[in-house]
Amino acid sequence: MTPLITVDAVSVAYPAPGGGRVQALKDITMDVRRGEWLAIIGHNGSGKSTLAKCFNALLVPGRGAVAVDGISTRDPANARRIRQIVGMVFQHPDNQLVATVVEEDVAFGPENLGLDHEEIKRRVEESIAAVDVAELRLRPPHQLSGGQKQRVAIAGVLAMRPQCLVLDEATAMLDPEGRREVLDTVGRLHDGGTTVVSITHFMSEVPLADRVIVLNEGQIALEGTPREIFAHGDALRQLELDVPQVTQVAEALAARGRRLEPLPITVHDLVEALA
Amino acid sequence: MNETLVEVKDLWHWYLRGTPLQTPALLGANFELVRSEIAGIMGHTGSGKSTLIQHFNGLLRPHRGSVRVLGADLGDAKTDPRPLRRRVGLLFQFPETQLFDPTVGDEIAFGPRRLGLTREEVRRRVRDAMERSGIPFEAYKDRYTFGLSGGEQRMVALAGVLALEPEVLVLDEPTSGLDPRGRRKVLNTLRSLHDEVGTTLVFVSHNMEDVAELVQRVWVLAGGKTVLQGPTRQVFTQVERLRELGLGLPQVTEVAHELRARGAPVRPDIITVDEAAEALWTSSTSRAV
Amino acid sequence: MDEFDFARSVTVGQYIPGTSIVHRIDARAKLIAFIGLLVATITQPSYIANVIAIIAVVVIVRASRIPIGYVLSGVRPVIPLLILYLIFNFLFLGNYDPTGSAVLWRQPIDIGPYHIAFTVTDNSLRQTVQGVARVIDLILLASVLTLTTTITATAKAVEWLLQPFRRIRVPGHEIAMVLAIAYRFMPTVAEELERLMKAQASRGADFGSPGAFRFVQRARQLIPVTVPLFVSAFRRAEDLIIAMEARCYVGGAGRAPVRLGPLNGLDWSAMAVAWAFALALSATRFPI
């Protein structure tokens, strides 16, 4: 199966505030496979958000090529189609909701596509149910919690019926409850076949993914499954990241001679390994 | 016995009191802060944590019950909260949104300048605050505030409050939104502030691992009331209760709890990685393999 | 009242759900009726007409079943301005009366080298009192409108009413969008303002009044609040643009025109009554 998104030798540079240019991405080549959950991690400034914005043509790279379902992002005429295939949810819960009540905001995307009213209503219903915000449908955004706002944002994206959902640090500003809500929702969508790309710096979210790419200074530093990545504890710490607590415990035990296989990356793993 | 700096008894507070949109935020909360301690306040969203801490420097007044801070009774309308604010510093969540001066040095100097100090003293405080926050004075004092990264801006906001040299520092979610590197910088600054300067700290946090690392005494709020309090280690053993209250626990605590439930001889009060490694090593070597 | 709660007491703009007759009238009809009532309160120079207009507005507020105290609290922020207006016009407007109406009171006074006169004429008194009454009417009407109508309904009503003007390039959709977004962020910005004031007060900023006319000083004092608000507003705008583009927003083009249900008996009656009242009031000659 061809990948859903292909990134080929992509470089992106920004003008720096003090003059000169800052290289946000340097010659990156990677892909997003259909149906997978890909996590992209890295410290702030590593280029992860920049890469995410290339996936739905919000950013067109200075060099290299990005294609979504075979469609090139370089041609502005393709943007509309691409953004229906790849939907994106952003970090700031408030700064994505434009309408005055929840169900109006969910309808925003389909309205922009010029769909007729019956179709819009249908999609709004489906999306609201998919993220479980039915009892909030008439509430104004400022009365919602962070987690609820992000779920509404996801509904707004789902209403466009995308194949892929990109979460650009979508849990960074949430409390643990909100984060749980959002990740549970995304998990369900992933189980239903949606491709997920999550950009995050929370190590505890990484085990949810099928595959992980670690960015540093605009380049790919590590790639593999969560377990493979977390086996490189020292390398990750060099990159200003870390491994989950349970993995740190496994590292400490390994240092004393007790190796746990397979490497624990969740609470469940460690309990099973020791019980 | 250390002196009590903050004493909150049966505190009630409503938002928009007297309007049709009136809602209770605190329904009889209790809290106590003793000099030189590091206290933590936890609770699900909407439990009243932010409302509670805003009483500590007089931004909010008690509607019922009592709040005494550094000897002042905040229930008394005649009490002027402004002198209190130089002794009790408060840093809100996402404090980088409060930056307004284009130059880092001037931004941090805002607080001290308002204290009527000499220029040399203001400069000294700004320098000390910046060094302690990990943003070196010479390198950062003339930088453009809005050109800094999010993590750097947070440290500038923190330095802005440190420059007041408060006896008590209250922080609302100081590490929220930061990547592991940024979080480490904040925790180190707070640790050094407490250990080297003797500042009493209170922080509201969702991050159980932060709480386990720094906090000595924890207060848990739910529905506007204090429902649990005690030494961190002790409170964290109440795994079921905390889960009921919608709170998480450090991974290592959950692991210990699970293992105990399966009959393994593991201490219940494990809250850090080192403790876990030690305990699990001991328990695994003490069993015949 | 707590020092910082004020930002939340903005009543113009808040929607309070309800089932009163005013709530049930369609937003389009309410807007048209609102304009009619505005006309009623503005056109008549007679005192009796003004009293009738005020009574009409109060009747509407009562009909909306929202506590009148709450609606009146929307007037509170404007009171200092109104008092100033009242005092200045009461004392001085009479000096500039071109109609030569009867002088009711005159008091020449010397302030240093200046000779001025406090003059109240029949006309100036009328204008002063009515000016204040009209502002209050306007605020009450606007409050009732926004308190009983969701902004979505209002924005859609505006877009629908402006639709016929699409041909002459009036950007009805964009106007409605601006209204809706501005409204949607009002409570968010109000909360932000409250948080900012608290944060800066915690650092020792003082927001007390430096005196009635020290505008520059007042502006300087508010910098720790206005600058971050602006910065955040720009950041918000940038984020919103990106988020809207990610959902394929390109403006009014390509969107289906807004479709609203038919107006019913209640709606037509409301409009008819409001305009009939307005026209009747304008046409009647009252003794005073």
pLDDT score of B99 more than 90: yes
Check CB contact under 8 Å for B97 and C232.
Answer: yes
Q: Is B59 on the interface with C (CB under 8 A)?
A: yes
Res. B78: pLDDT tops 60: yes
Q: In chain C, what residues touch B19 (CB-CB under 8 Å)? A: 9, 70, 73
Question: What letter does residue A170 receive in the DSSP assignment?
Answer: T
- Tell the residue number behind the tokens 């502030």, with chain if given: B193
Question: To 5 degrees, how large is the angle CA B204–CA B208–CA B214?
Answer: 70
Helix (H, G, I), strand (E, B), or coil: what is residue A43?
coil
B17 close contact with C: CB closer than 8 A: yes
DSSP tag of C258: P
Res. A18 pLDDT band, cuts 50 70 90: low
> ∠ CA B260-B262-B265 to the nearest 5 degrees?
40
Phi, psi of A26 (to 5 degrees): -120, 100
pLDDT surpasses 80 at B271? yes
User: Chain B interface, mutation test: which of A22, A40, A44, most B Cβ atoms within 10 Å?
Assistant: A44
Lowest-confidence region among B193-202, B236-245, C76-85 = C76-85
Q: Give the mean pLDDT of C220-227.
A: 87
Subunit contact A17:B273, Cβ cutoff 8 A: no
Q: Do B206 and A275 touch (CB under 8 A)?
A: no
Q: Is the pLDDT of residue C213 over 80?
A: no
A141 Cβ under 8 Å from any chain C Cβ: yes
Structure confidence at residue A108 (pLDDT): 93
Mean pLDDT of B161-170: 96
Q: Is the pLDDT of residue B222 over 70?
A: yes
Nearest to A104 among C15, C152, C235 (CB): C152
Interface of C with B in 214-233 (CB under 8 A): 223-225, 227-228, 231-232
Whether pTM exceeds 0.95 = no
**Percent of chain B having pLDDT more than 90?**
71
Q: What is the pLDDT of residue B267?
A: 86
**pLDDT one-digit tens code per residue, B31-76:** 999 999 999 999 988 889 999 999 999 999 999 999 999 999 999 9
Q: What is the CA radius of gyration of chain B?
A: 21
Minimum-distance CB partner of B16 among C8, C225, C228: C8
pLDDT, tens digit (0-9, with 9 covering 90-100), for B242-266: 988 888 889 999 999 999 999 888 8
DSSP C212: T
- Report CB contact under 8 Å: A246, B252: yes
**Contact by Cβ (8 Å): B11, B221:** no
Note whether A160 contacts C235, CB cutoff 8 Å: no
**Peptide bond preceding A262: is omega within 30 degrees of 0, i.e. cis?**
yes
**Which residues of A are less than 8 Å from B174 in CB distance?**
none
| Separation CA C94–CA A73 (nearest Å) | 70
pLDDT, one tens digit per residue, over A125-173 is 999 999 999 999 988 898 899 999 999 999 999 999 999 999 999 999 9
Over residues A43-94, the pLDDT tens digits come to 888 899 999 999 999 999 999 999 999 999 999 999 999 999 999 999 999 9
The token pair at A223 is 């790639």
Residue B97 to residue C228, Cβ atoms within 8 A: yes
Q: Where are the alpha helices (DSSP H) in chain A?
A: 48-55, 79-85, 102-112, 117-130, 146-158, 176-191, 226-230, 233-238, 245-255, 267-274
User: Between vectors from CA A214 to CA A208 and to CA A220, what angle results, nearest 5°?
Assistant: 145
Q: What mean pLDDT is reported for chain C? A: 84
Query: Beta strand A63-68 with A5-15: parallel, antiparallel or unpaired?
Result: antiparallel
Asked whether the beta carbons of residue C187 and residue A142 sit closer than 8 angstroms, the reply is yes
pLDDT single digits (tens) A212-252: 999 999 999 999 999 999 999 999 999 989 899 999 999 99
Q: Which of C1, C202, C205 is closest, CB to CB, to B57?
A: C202
CA C263 to chain centre: 26
Confidence of residue B28 (pLDDT cuts 50, 70, 90): very high
pLDDT value, residue B288: 42
Distance between CA atoms of residues A89 and A150, nearest Å: 8
ipTM: 0.91
Question: Nearest residue on chain B to C2, judged by CA atoms?
Answer: B60
Return the residue of A nearest to B265 by Cα: A275
Q: What is the pLDDT of residue C112?
A: 78
Residue that has been written with the tokens 């961190």 in this structure: B232
| C163 near B CB under 8 A | no
Of how many residues is chain C composed? 288
Range with lowest mean pLDDT among A183-197, B206-220, C55-69, C206-220? C206-220
Q: pLDDT grade, residue C187 (50/70/90)?
A: confident
Confidence category of residue C5, pLDDT binned at 50, 70, 90: low
Measured between CB atoms, does B63 come within 8 Å of chain C?
A: no
How do A195-200 and A37-41 pair as beta strands? Answer: parallel
A residues 30..69 contacting C (CB < 8 A): 53, 56, 58
DSSP track, chain B: -PPEEEEEEEEEEEESTTSTT-EEEEEEEEEEEETT-EEEEEE-TTSSHHHHHTTTTTSS--SEEEEEETTEETTSTT--STGGGGTEEEE-SSGGGG---SBHHHHHHHHHHTTT--HHHHHHHHHHHHHHTT--HHHHTTSBGGGS-HHHHHHHHHHHHHTT--SEEEEESTTTT--HHHHHHHHHHHHHIIIII--EEEEE-S-HHHHHHH-SEEEEEETTEEEEEEEHHHHHT-HHHHHHTT----HHHHHHHHHHHTT----S---SHHHHHHHHHHHHHSS--
Per-residue pLDDT of B105-150, as tens digits, reads 999 999 999 888 999 999 999 999 999 999 999 999 999 999 898 8
Cβ contact B249:A264 at 8 Å: no
* In chain C, residues 164-193 whose CB comes closer than 8 Å to chain B: 192
Q: What is the mean pLDDT of residues C249-259?
A: 78
Chain B residues within 8 A of A267 when measuring between CB atoms? 251, 254-255, 258
The residue of B41, B143, B179 whose CB has the most chain A CBs within 10 angstroms, and thus the best one to mutate to test that interface, is B179
Contact C4, B54 (CB under 8 A): no
B60 touches chain C (CB under 8 A): yes
Return the SS3 of A221: strand
Confidence at residue C220, expressed as pLDDT on a 0 to 100 scale: 81
Strands B72-73 and A219-224, bridge-based pairing? unpaired
pLDDT at B198: 93
Residue of C73 and B41 predicted with greater confidence: B41
Contact B16 C9 (CB under 8 A): yes
pLDDT at B54: 95
Mean pLDDT, residues C148-170 taken together? 84
Closest CA of chain A from B161, distance in Å: 22
What's the whole-number average pLDDT of chain A?
93
What separation in angstroms does the CA of A153 have from each of A133, B86, C269?
Answer: 11, 41, 40
What is the model's pLDDT at position C1? 34
Phi, psi of A38 (to 5 degrees): -105, 130
Cβ atoms within 10 Å of B87's Cβ, excluding its own: 16
Sign of the CA dihedral running A106, A107, A110, A111:
negative
Tell me the average pLDDT across A194-208: 94
From the list C180, C244, C247, the residue facing A160 with the nearest CB is: C247
Contact between chains at B15 and C5 (C-beta distance less than 8 A): yes
Residue in B with minimal Cα distance to A147: B45
Res C9 pLDDT > 60? no
The predicted structure's pLDDT at residue C52: 87
Cβ–Cβ of A258/B248 closer than 8 Å?
no
